[in-house]
A and B are shown apart, each in its own frame.
Chain A
């Protein structure tokens, strides 16, 4: 199914989510993300930002309502089709979730290996991206030996290596200073320019205000869309939604 034109990358209708038998942490969620849009997901701690992200990266199924991704209704998508969809979603987890026994290179190569890309093909891509994020001298290092900022860059590299159509970042600026936070957001803007739909969860209101992307706000499990404009920055991708072009060397400048 094409994602060009008026297709939505993400569509939530009347979604509710509860953990086990607990109360609904998300209630009556309705929103749509157009292809190439850029949104901030805001809300106080505990408002449900991470939970909403989990629904988008298919870590959980909603307790009720409709979640559709890339135009597919997740409720009727067979389980065997989900890995292929997950590969089109890049996630920067709040706690990075790097595999500590693997080198930086292997961590970043993981999404490609999982997708069956051959070693001789992925080697160049991974090395190139690691150079772009300034980790060319740390390819063999294991995550525990890296600084917080370096680990974050590994996590981001892993999220974008397979050129996802949808990039989700859960408080990626949480553990870094302001300067680094802006640099990271600029990196995501670059990716967005190349056609990737981006959602960044953050509680850094200053950042949101300054960059002026539309904001999805969660308040105690309910959602408010503060601006319904299409947040996509002018894109370089073809309108037919063909695969995102290789990384622009400009991205380097932001790191």
Chain B
């Protein structure tokens, strides 16, 4: 489209030179926002799959560590018995001490390695949510049979986390929408300035018998070209930023956060985004010109 002939000297417009710059910035922000949304979505999905089918029964460590093993073992056995009699429980497995330590490491760090730390015994329970397990009833029953035992239903905090992430996601979507509006507004402004600047050439073309389309095409092609240029620059600047964020996340060892790396579909989405922005610029320019020309006789 932009390699067609241009009769209107749009390529000499100084006012349009900042358009690629602005579009580059917009594409940059949009890619970061969209990448964020995709990472969050991915995380939510993974947590949902990994966690929602499980709950954890926690049996607190005895107050006096000297009499530790026997009492705790019988408490664990009691709990396992209750669990095996509960419908909907698929499997219950006691975690070994080092497994427990491993789970706690992200929160406790090196402290987790100290042997005399009183640790709770954890039972990993796989449940079938479809069968409608009543986790509250289970919790009540357990605390009767095993004093101090508590049921940690991941679903509850997961739901809260998901709600938080959904909010963050909405904000990111809002950012993307604002970016869209700003881009459209700027293209309209640039196009109108171009129309005013080249009104003489446009009138001559019009009187010579040019269809509105013929004139609009030149503006649209120009906007597409400027949009692609800006979009490419924005995309290029995004790559180091995304890599840096990934690197930092890895270095800070925020293990509670799942990995931030993007898959192929995400990469494709990010590469397509500048094309979409350029497309928006093209359509906006076209509509703006057609609207203005419609006022000519």
Contacts and interface: CB of A to CB of B under 8 A. Distances in A.
A205 B237 CA distance: 70
B209 A83 contact: yes
A111 interface: yes
Interface in A73-89: 79-80, 82-87
B207 interface: yes
Contacts, number: 51
A102 B201 CA distance: 10
Contacts of A106: 7
A95 B64 CA distance: 105
A59 interface: yes
Interface in A51-99: 57-61, 79-80, 82-87, 91, 97, 99
Contact of A113 (B5, B201, B203, B204): B5
A211 B211 CA distance: 38
Interface in B205-249: 205-211, 214
B109 interface: no
Contact of A59 (B5, B201, B297): B297
A87 B206 CA distance: 10
Contacts of B114: none
A84 B204 CA distance: 15
Contacts of A80: 211
B208 A99 contact: no
B12 interface: yes
Interface in B1-53: 5, 7, 9, 12
Interface residues on chain B, size class: 10 to 19
A101 interface: yes
B134 interface: no
B270 to A, nearest CB: 39
A114 B201 contact: no
B213 to A, nearest CB: 9
A87 B209 contact: yes
A163 B209 CA distance: 13
B78 interface: no
Interface of B: 5, 7, 9, 12, 200-201, 203-211, 214, 294, 297
Interface of A: 57-61, 79-80, 82-87, 91, 97, 99, 101-102, 106, 110-111, 113-115, 158, 162
13 contacts: A59-B203, A59-B207, A79-B294, A79-B297, A86-B206, A86-B209, A87-B208, A87-B209, A97-B204, A99-B201, A110-B208, A111-B209, A158-B208
